[in-house]
Structure 1
Amino acid sequence: MRLFFRDFRALAITVGTALIIGGLFISCGGAETEGEHPAKRDNAETLVVGMPGDPRSLDPHRTNDQPSSRVKKQIYDTLMYQTSDLTVTGDGLAESYEVISPTEFAFTLRQGVLFHNGEELTSEDVKFTFERMRELNAPAAFLVNALDRVEIIDDYNFVMHLSFPFGPFITHLAHPATAIINKKAVLEAGDNYGRNPVGTGPFAFVEWRSGDSLTLRRFDDHFRGPAASERVIFRIITEDTQRAIALETSEVDLIYDVGPNDFRDLAAIENVIGFQTSGLTTFYMGFNVGKEPFDDVRVRQAINLALDVEAATQVAFRGYATTAKGPLAPTVQFANTDLPGYGYDVERAKALLAEAGYPDGFSTSIWTNDNPVRVMYAEIFQEQLRAVGIAASIEIVEWAPYLDRTARGEHDMFMLGWVAVTGDADYGLYSLFHSEEFGDAGNRTFWAHEEVDRLLVDGKTNPDPQAREAAYLQAQKIIFEEAPWTFLAFRDELNATRDYVQGFQPHAAGHHILYQVYNN
C-alpha cells in the first residue's frame, strides 16, 4: 500500500502538542501607532537571533550538539519533516513512501529540489549521505544503525533496507543529523566542509565568525518557496544576562535559552514576549566510571544521596524545571515515572563511602562549560560534597574543548544535558547508556551494563509497543540503581522575542524553525 504524506500525521509520536505550554508571558503595553515599531531595528529583512553557544561544525556527520543543530536546521532538509510540536508531516524531501515490509521502505523524492550550489537532489545524494554517516561513525549514527543499505532505483526512487524492524525509524529521518548532503559539495570541500555547508534548506550559508556570529541568506529556490526573512544572523552571546539585554535593546529580535534569572523580568517588559514550554531535556551530572572511585556503584550512589538535588534545582532554575528522578523527562515516550529518586541522606551517603573504602572521602573534580545553570549546580554540589568528605574542585572548560575532552574520558564528574529530540525513549537512552556509544556518540560516563545493552536493543528492534515499553521501563530501573548519573532536572524551554517578530513557534526539542519567522 502506498502512503502519501497528507495521511501521515497519524504516525506522529504521542507527545505532540501537549508539550507546548507556550507564550505564557505576554506584555500588556499600550497600543502602537501605525508605522515602524519604536524599538525596531532599521533592517526588517534581517532576523537576528541571540543564542548561547557557538556551533562546533555545520557538517551533520561531525557533531550532534545543540548549537550546531539549531543552525543546521535552517541550512538542510531531511527526508521527513518534524514540526515544532514533533508531529511528522509530508514537508520533507520525500514526496511519498511505501512500506514494503517491516524492514523495507521505498521512497520517492520530490523532483526539482535544488541544493544551494545549483545541483539537483537525487537518490545518489541520499545514498551518499547515509553511507558517509556510517563510514565516519558520526556521533548521531545510532539514529539509523538499523539501516543496512540504500538501494537506488532511479534518480528519484530508492529503497532503504533495514537489518531489523525499528519502530522509530521514520521519525529519526526527520532529525537534523540525518539531513541530506550534496555529494559533489562534500567531495570538493573535503575537510573544510563543516565550514562550507551546502544543503537544500531555506537558508544558505554566508559567513561564520567563530565566537561572534554566523550569517545565512534566504535561498529563493527552496522547494517550499522563499523563507519569510531575507537574512538570518545568529549572534553568539554566551552570558544569559547579556542575551536578555540585547533583546531588551532590540540589538537582537529573538533569543534562545533565556536564563532562569532573567526570564520573568524580561517577559514582563513592554514589547517583549516570553515563551515557556515543556521540554525534552534532562540535566545530569555524570561520573566517569572508567576511573576510580567511580567504578564502584556504592560511591556513585553515595554522591547521589549526598546531594540535595531538589534544593539545588530550585536555586539553579528558579522554578523553571522539575527535579529529575531518572534519565527521561515525563514528556518522552516510555519514560519510567515510577522511579523513587535518591532523596537527600547524608548519613547513608557516609556509610556507603565507608563501605566502599573511603571513610574519609576523596578528592575529585567537577567539569562544566560556562553555562551559568551548570556552574551554579557545580558550586552548590561542591559545598554539599564537602559534608561527606569529598573535596571537589570545579573546572570550567570552553564548549568545543569540553565536548572533545569529555568524549576522550579526561574528566572525573561532568555537567551536561541531553535532549530526547525525537520524543522516543530510544533517543533518550541508547546513545547515553549503551556500551557501543562511548565518547562523542553520547556515553561520556563510559558505563556499560550487559542487561541494559540487551534491553536497549530489544526496545529498538521490537515492533510491539508494549514490549518496547517493558524493555525501556526495566532499563531505566537498572540505570537508576546503578547510578552512572546524578539525575538533576527536566528543564522548561525558555525563549523570548520582540513583539514585532511574527511566526515564531518554539520547537519542543529546541531545534527552532525559522523558515516562517520575520520582523513585521
Structure 2
Amino acid sequence: MKRNFFLFTIFLCLIMAFTANAEVKNSDTYVLLTIGEPDSLDPGYAYDTHSGEVLTFVYDNLIAYDGESIFKFIPILATNVPSKDNGLIIDDGKTYIFPIRKGVFFHNGNELSPEDVEYTFERNILFDSVGGPYWMVIGALFNYQSLNEMVESKIGFPLTDMVNEDGSLKNQEYADRLIKFYQEEIDPAIKVEGDTVIFHLIKPFAPFLNLLSKYAYWSSIMDKQTCIDWGCWDGKADGWWKYYNQKKESSPLFDKTNGTGPFILTEWDRTQQKVVLKKNEHYWGEKAKLNQVIIWGVDEWNTRRAMFEAGDADQVYIPTQYIQQLENLKGSQVYQEERITVTNLHFNWTISKTSPFLGSSQLDGNGIPPDFFADENCRRAFCYAFDYEAMINDVLQGYGKRIVSVLPSNLLGYNDQLPRYEYDLIKAREEFQKAWGGKVWDEGFQVTLAYDTGNEVFQTACEILKENIESLNPRFKIEIQGFQWPSFLDFFKSGQLPAIVVSWIADYPDPHNLIFSHYHSNGAVGHAQGEGFNEFAKKNLNHLIEAAIIETNSNARQKLYEDIQIAAYEHALGIPLFQPTEVHLIKSWVKGWEFNPIQCGEANFDTIYKEE
C-alpha cells in the first residue's frame, strides 16, 4: 500500500511557511473530529467503524498487523505469531496454538489468563448477534454461517425456534440438547492447555490470523471474571442460550469496557457524540505518548474546520467536495490513502411492515408496498438513474473510482471488464414503465433514502438519485433523511429502511468478506435486505459464494467471483457507487501518524504524538 502526500503546489508553500512556526496546543491530548459515534462497546455486538475505533485501543488482540502491512503480523497478547515454521500451526492448517503472555493486567487490575481468551471467543460465539461480526469466526471454526444455522444442523431445530426473545426456552425439553451441543461442539473448538490457547478448525481457513488481529475488534480479549460479574454469560453449559442475540442496550458491555489496551475509557457522552480515553499508565507494553484522546462526532464541516483552524482539533474528517478549501488552512498536512473499502446503495426487498417509511404502504403515489424493491425492473431503473461520473468528478473531486460490484479493485475476483450500469435516463424510464406491470409509472411512488447524518458525500449521492428520478415523472417522490449513526444502524438491521447508502471496510483482505457480507442470505448486508432477497440468494448465490471460499485454485476462484458479480449486475442487486480514495486532514504538529488499509479508525492513537 502506498502512502502519498498530495499537496497542491500553492498549498505546499503554505505548509512550509506555517509549520515552522506552529505552536502545539494541548500537547498531551489528541482531538479527532469525525461524524457519528459508537453503536456499541460490546466486542461481540459491535460491527461498525465508530465502535471499532474505540475498542481497538481499549482492548488488545492476540496479534496485530505489522505497521502498514496486511499480511505480516506481530505478537501482542500472544508471545508468538503461529506459523507452520514455528510449529504453532499444525494439522494441515486446522490447529492454531497461541502461547499467552504473562504479566498482563486488565484495567481493573485482574491478571490476564488463557481462560480469558477462551471465554472471550466462546461467549461471543454463543452471543452471536444477528447482523454482527461473529459469522466470520463461526464460519472459520465450524464451517457454518451463524450459530442459529449450526444449531439447526446439529440438533434438528434452529435456535430461534427453541428460544424466546427474552432467552427463555419455548420447551424445557430443549435444555439437555442445548447443553450437549455446547459440550460437544463449542467447547472442544477452543481449549486451554497450560499457558496456551488452541483453536481447532473444522477445515483450513487461510485468513484465520486476520480474524484475530488488531483492528479485528470483535476479537478483543475480555476479562472473564468482569464479564460474569457484570451479567454476561457465566461460562456454564447450562443456560448459555439465555445470552443468545441479546438486544444492543441489554448487553452488560454496551457502554462499559475493561480491556488490557493502551487506553482506558473514561467517558462516552452520547448527547455530544463524544468519547474520551485516557492513557493506561500500567500498560504492559510500550505506553502511549498521549495522555488523552477525544473522539468527537461533529456533524457540520464548518464547525470541524473552525475548530481545526483554532488548534482545538488535531485531525478532522473532510468530505471531498471541500478539498479546495484546504488551500487556505494553516499548519496542516494532508494524507491521501487507499483503504480496502467500497460504497454502495442497497435495496430492501421486504421492508418491515412496522417501518415508518412506507407511507401509505401502497403504490398510490403516497408510499410504497413493503416489497417495492422486489421488482427487478424497479431496481434496474434506480441503477440507470445514478450519474456515476458526476459522483466521481464533481462530488469526490476525483478522489475515487468506479467499481463493478461490492468488490474493491485491489482484491482477487475484481475484473474491470465485467458489465456495469451507466447513467441513462432513457433506459431508467423504460425500466420504470415495466416495473410492477406498469403500475409504478401510472401511479407513482414516494420512497425514503437514508444516510448517516454528517456524511455529506452519502447525502449527495441520494440527492443525485432524487433529482434524476423525479425528473422522469412528476408522480415520483424521493425523500432523503439523515439519522445519527446508532439510529441508522438500528433501522438498517431491523429491516425498516427501504434503501441505504453504506460504506463497507473489509474486515480482512479477502474477497469472501465483502461478497459474503453483501450477497449471501446470512451476510450482514444481505440479511438486512429482507426475506425476498434472502430467498433469492439461497437459490442463486449462496452455493457460489460457499464454493468460492473453499476453492484453492486462484483462477477457478476468480471465475466464481466473476460469476457472482455478473449475477449481481443482471439482477440489479444494488448500485456500486464508488471506491473512495480517502483524504486525512491533520495538524502539522502531529508526528508518527501511519495508516493501515484494513484499519477501522482514523489514527494510530497508541503511537502518534504532538510536537513542533
Q: TM-score, normalised by structure 2?
A: 0.76
Partner in structure 2 of residue 407 of structure 1? 493
8 Å CA contact 1:73–1:513 kept in 2: the answer is no
8 Å CA contact 1:382–1:392 kept in 2: the answer is yes
Residue 355 (structure 1) aligned with residue 444 (structure 2): no
Structure number with greater Rg is 2
Which residue among 90, 97, 105 is the counterpart of 1:100?
A: 90
RMSD, matched Cα: 2.2
Task: Assess, with a 3 A threshold, how the Cα gap between structure 1 residues 198 and 89 changes in structure 2: closer, same or farther.
Answer: same
The share of aligned pairs that are identical, in percent, is 25
Which residue among 463, 467, 471 is the counterpart of 1:383?
A: 467
Which residue among 457, 465, 471 is the counterpart of 1:373?
A: 457
Give runs of aligned pairs for residues 73-152 of structure 1, distance below 5 A.
73-82=56-65, 83-96=67-80, 97=82, 98-101=88-91, 102-138=93-129, 139-145=132-138, 146-148=140-142, 149=186, 150-152=189-191
How far is the alpha carbon of 1:201 from its aligned partner?
Answer: 1.3
Residue 322 (structure 1) aligned with residue 383 (structure 2): no
Give structure 2 stretches of 5+ with no counterpart: 83-87, 143-185, 232-250, 351-369
How far is the alpha carbon of 1:318 from its aligned partner?
Answer: 2.2
One-letter amino acid matched to 1:30: A
Residue 52 (structure 1) aligned with residue 35 (structure 2): yes
Residue 180 (structure 1) aligned with residue 221 (structure 2): yes
8 Å CA contact 2:63–2:75 kept in 1: the answer is yes
Task: Assess, with a 3 A threshold, how the Cα gap between structure 1 residues 428 and 141 changes in structure 2: closer, same or farther.
Answer: same
8 Å CA contact 2:419–2:566 kept in 1: the answer is no
Partner in structure 2 of residue 162 of structure 1? 201
Partner in structure 2 of residue 341 of structure 1? 420
Deviations 1:110-163 (A, max 9, x none): 222222122222221111111122112130012212214543333521211112
Which residue among 296, 308, 325 is the counterpart of 1:235?
A: 296
Task: Assess, with a 3 A threshold, how the Cα gap between structure 1 residues 155 and 122 changes in structure 2: closer, same or farther.
Answer: farther
Whole-angstrom distance in 2 between the partners of 1:22 and 1:57:
34
Partner in structure 2 of residue 8 of structure 1? none
How far is the alpha carbon of 1:498 from its aligned partner?
Answer: 0.9
Give runs of aligned pairs for residues 460-475 of structure 1, distance below 5 A.
460-475=549-564
Deviations 1:44-84 (A, max 9, x none): 11122212111112211122111111111111111221234
Give the total of aligned pairs.
496
8 Å CA contact 2:15–2:333 kept in 1: the answer is no
One-letter amino acid matched to 1:404: D
Secondary structure of the equivalent of 1:195? coil
Which residue among 564, 567, 579 is the counterpart of 1:490?
A: 579
Secondary structure of the equivalent of 1:121? coil
How far is the alpha carbon of 1:106 from its aligned partner?
Answer: 1.6
8 Å CA contact 1:248–1:272 kept in 2: the answer is no
- Greater Cα offset, 299-308 or 324-333: 324-333
Deviations 1:187-219 (A, max 9, x none): 223334222211111111111111342111111
Residue 30 (structure 1) aligned with residue 17 (structure 2): yes
8 Å CA contact 1:241–1:259 kept in 2: the answer is no
Secondary structure of the equivalent of 1:147? helix
8 Å CA contact 2:22–2:331 kept in 1: the answer is no
Whole-angstrom distance in 2 between the partners of 1:71 and 1:517:
16
One-letter amino acid matched to 1:433: Y
One-letter amino acid matched to 1:153: V
Task: Assess, with a 3 A threshold, how the Cα gap between structure 1 residues 165 and 181 changes in structure 2: closer, same or farther.
Answer: same
Partner in structure 2 of residue 444 of structure 1? 528
Give structure 1 stretches of 5+ with no counterpart: 1-16
Task: Assess, with a 3 A threshold, how the Cα gap between structure 1 residues 399 and 31 changes in structure 2: closer, same or farther.
Answer: closer
How far is the alpha carbon of 1:355 from its aligned partner?
Answer: 2.7
Which structure has more strand as a fraction of its residues?
1
Deviations 1:66-107 (A, max 9, x none): 111111111111122123442431133222221112322122
Task: Assess, with a 3 A threshold, how the Cα gap between structure 1 residues 54 and 513 changes in structure 2: closer, same or farther.
Answer: same
How far is the alpha carbon of 1:38 from its aligned partner?
Answer: 4.5
Which residue among 72, 96, 99 is the counterpart of 2:55?
A: 72
Whole-angstrom distance in 1 between the partners of 2:322 and 2:430:
40
Whole-angstrom distance in 1 between the partners of 2:60 and 2:6:
27
Residue 153 (structure 1) aligned with residue 228 (structure 2): no
How far is the alpha carbon of 1:170 from its aligned partner?
Answer: 1.4
- Greater Cα offset, 66-75 or 322-331: 322-331
8 Å CA contact 2:446–2:478 kept in 1: the answer is yes
Whole-angstrom distance in 1 between the partners of 2:268 and 2:501:
28
Whole-angstrom distance in 1 between the partners of 2:384 and 2:266:
50
8 Å CA contact 2:273–2:298 kept in 1: the answer is yes
Q: TM-score, normalised by structure 1?
A: 0.89
Deviations 1:433-480 (A, max 9, x none): 2102356xx643232323321122223333444443332222222222
Secondary structure of the equivalent of 1:304? helix
Deviations 1:365-387 (A, max 9, x none): 21222221111111121110113
8 Å CA contact 1:228–1:517 kept in 2: the answer is yes
Task: Assess, with a 3 A threshold, how the Cα gap between structure 1 residues 132 and 308 changes in structure 2: closer, same or farther.
Answer: same
8 Å CA contact 2:19–2:331 kept in 1: the answer is no
One-letter amino acid matched to 1:403: L
Task: Assess, with a 3 A threshold, how the Cα gap between structure 1 residues 32 and 438 changes in structure 2: closer, same or farther.
Answer: closer
One-letter amino acid matched to 1:490: Q
Residue 417 (structure 1) aligned with residue 503 (structure 2): yes
One-letter amino acid matched to 1:214: V
Task: Assess, with a 3 A threshold, how the Cα gap between structure 1 residues 260 and 438 changes in structure 2: closer, same or farther.
Answer: closer
Task: Assess, with a 3 A threshold, how the Cα gap between structure 1 residues 464 and 158 changes in structure 2: closer, same or farther.
Answer: farther
Whole-angstrom distance in 1 between the partners of 2:483 and 2:274:
20
Task: Assess, with a 3 A threshold, how the Cα gap between structure 1 residues 398 and 111 changes in structure 2: closer, same or farther.
Answer: same
8 Å CA contact 1:495–1:506 kept in 2: the answer is no
Whole-angstrom distance in 2 between the partners of 1:516 and 1:142:
31
Which residue among 601, 604, 610 is the counterpart of 1:513?
A: 604
Secondary structure of the equivalent of 2:581? strand
8 Å CA contact 2:592–2:608 kept in 1: the answer is yes
- Greater Cα offset, 185-194 or 398-407: 185-194
How far is the alpha carbon of 1:252 from its aligned partner?
Answer: 0.9
How far is the alpha carbon of 1:354 from its aligned partner?
Answer: 2.5
How far is the alpha carbon of 1:266 from its aligned partner?
Answer: 2.4
Partner in structure 2 of residue 225 of structure 1? 286
Whole-angstrom distance in 2 between the partners of 1:341 and 1:179:
39
Which residue among 508, 518, 522 is the counterpart of 1:432?
A: 518
8 Å CA contact 1:103–1:165 kept in 2: the answer is yes
How far is the alpha carbon of 1:246 from its aligned partner?
Answer: 1.6
